[in-house]
Amino acid sequence: MRMEMFTSWRTWDEARAGLADAGLDERVVATLERAAEAAARWHGDQRRPTGAPYLEHLLEALEVLVRGAGVTDPDMLAAALLHDVVEDTDATVADVEAVFGEGVAELVDWLTKPPAAGADRQAKRAAKAAYLRRLGDAPERAVLVKLADRVSNVQTLDRMAPDFQRRYYAETVTYILPLAEPHPWFAGWYAAWRDRFAALR
């Protein structure tokens, strides 16, 4: 199986066209547009490690859920666009809930990595591992958004620094692939991804 890429929704206009093609209700699309605007405002001038605007990552996660996994749940789709705002910006879970409701806020809360107990690299890695293990107890909808988030991050793993590639590959195999196993589309995608990056084993 060939690893499918999800990099065609670079702007909101491209995403909106894709959402319409997927048959999503106009009211849902309007809500997602508000979520994309809120995410862009909260993330501001943040960039991905590749230098691309941060919104591209959020739109990729949305594209994975819609075009790949066939998800239509409005809260999940909004959470895909907002999943990093509490972790990486000044926004709070309460801010998300005030605008997008309790369902979206709960998903974002599950997807937010708690701050590390210390500033050193070892403390940060320990906090991340604890967060990833905790996802095993998360609601299915939160897990699916996380799986889409990681698809966006690992589909272009070869663009990252070599030492990061190996570490992120091992982390994904250890913590993310088990989460994908009960979900056929994600299980298939991650199996193809693992084959694509087999040299990192």
Mean pLDDT of the chain, nearest integer: 94
pLDDT of residue 51: 84
What is the domain-level CATH number for residue 185? 1.10.3210.10
Catalytic residue among 33, 88, 97, 171: 88
The answer to whether the CB of 62 falls within 8 A of the CB of 11 is: no
d(CA 103, CA 111): 13
**Number of domains into which the chain is organized:** 1
Q: Catalytic annotation on 63? A: no
d(CA 145, CA 111): 8
- Using alpha carbons, list the distances in angstroms from residue 133 to 114, 116, 179: 13, 15, 10
pLDDT above 90 (res 125): no
Confirm whether 2 is domain-assigned. no
The answer to whether the CB of 179 falls within 8 A of the CB of 136 is: yes
Confirm whether 71 is domain-assigned. yes
pLDDT interval class at 30 (50, 70, 90): very high
d(CA 7, CA 152): 8
Confirm whether 134 is domain-assigned. yes
pLDDT interval class at 120 (50, 70, 90): confident
Report CA 17 to chain centroid distance, whole Å: 20
Confirm whether 160 is domain-assigned. yes
d(CA 170, CA 149): 17
pLDDT interval class at 118 (50, 70, 90): low
Query: Phi and psi for 116 in degrees, rounded to 5?
Result: -70, 150
Structure tokens at 160: 């990252």
Confirm whether 120 is domain-assigned. yes
Q: Catalytic annotation on 4? A: no
Catalytic residue among 87, 97, 109, 171: 87
- Domain assignment of residue 27, given as a range: 12-200
pLDDT above 80 (res 117): no
Q: Is the pTM of this model over 0.85?
A: yes
Q: What is the mean pLDDT of residues 2-28?
A: 96
Confirm whether 1 is domain-assigned. no
Q: What is the mean pLDDT of residues 45-73?
A: 94
Confirm whether 3 is domain-assigned. no
DSSP state of 47: B
Confirm whether 178 is domain-assigned. yes
